Amino acid sequence: MKNVKVVGSGVVGTLEDLLRRDDLHSRAWELVILIDCTMSNLNGDPDNAGSPRVTPMEFGWATSVSFRRKTRDSVEDELETHLKTLGITSGQFEIAESHKAKGPNTENLKALIADKDFRKRFWDVRVYGDMLLDKNEKGQNWRGPVAMRAALSVAKVNVITQTLSRKTGTEVGKPKGMGPEAVKIVEHGLYVMPASYRPGSGEKNGTTNDDLRLFFHLIPHAYDVGSVCRSGVNVVGAYVGVHKNRIGTFKRFDFVRNLTPVRLGSDPEAPSHSIDDYEFGTIDTTMDGDFYQIV
**Residue ranges covered by each domain of the chain:** 5-64+143-293
Q: How far is CA 258 from CA 9, 34, 82, 279, in A?
A: 17, 13, 31, 12
Distance CA 142, CA 283 (A): 33
Say whether pLDDT at 19 is over 80.
yes
Q: For residues 283 and 4, is the Cβ–Cβ distance under 8 A?
A: yes
Share of the chain above pLDDT 70, in %: 84
Distance CA 158, CA 142 (A): 38
Strand partners, 161: 184
pLDDT at 134: 46
Task: Identify which of 158, 150, 177, 170 has the alpha carbon closest to the alpha carbon of residue 256.
Answer: 150
Classified as helix, coil or strand, 92 is coil
What pLDDT, in 10s, does the model give residues 34-58? Answer: 999 999 999 999 999 999 999 999 9
Q: How far is CA 269 from CA 35, 146, 157, 259, 265, in A?
A: 17, 30, 9, 17, 9
Distance CA 42, CA 287 (A): 33
Average pLDDT rounded to a whole number, residues 209-229:
92
Task: Identify which of 208, 222, 211, 213 has the alpha carbon closest to the alpha carbon of residue 73.
Answer: 222
Say whether pLDDT at 284 is over 80.
yes
Predicted TM-score of the model (pTM) = 0.90
pLDDT at 267: 98
Say whether pLDDT at 266 is over 50.
yes
Q: For residues 293 and 279, is the Cβ–Cβ distance under 8 A?
A: no
Distance CA 130, CA 134 (A): 8
Phi-psi group of 23: left, alpha or beta (phi > 0 → left; psi -120 to 50 → alpha; rest → beta): alpha
What pLDDT, in 10s, does the model give residues 142-198? Answer: 678 999 999 999 999 999 998 777 666 555 666 665 556 678 999 999 999 999 999
Q: Which residues of 126-148 are buried (b: 16+ CB within 10 A; e: fewer)?
A: bbbbbeebbeeeeeeebebbbbb
Distance CA 293, CA 219 (A): 12
Distance CA 261, CA 288 (A): 22
Distance CA 208, CA 22 (A): 10
pLDDT at 94: 93
pLDDT at 99: 81
* DSSP letters for 159-228: EEEEEEEESS-SSTT-SSEEEEEEEEEEEEEEEEEEEEE-HHHHHHHT--HHHHHHHHHHGGGTTSS--G
Per DSSP, the chain holds a count of helices (H) and strands (E) of 8, 15
282-284 vs 5-7, strand pairing mode: parallel
What pLDDT, in 10s, does the model give residues 102-117? Answer: 555 555 666 666 676 7
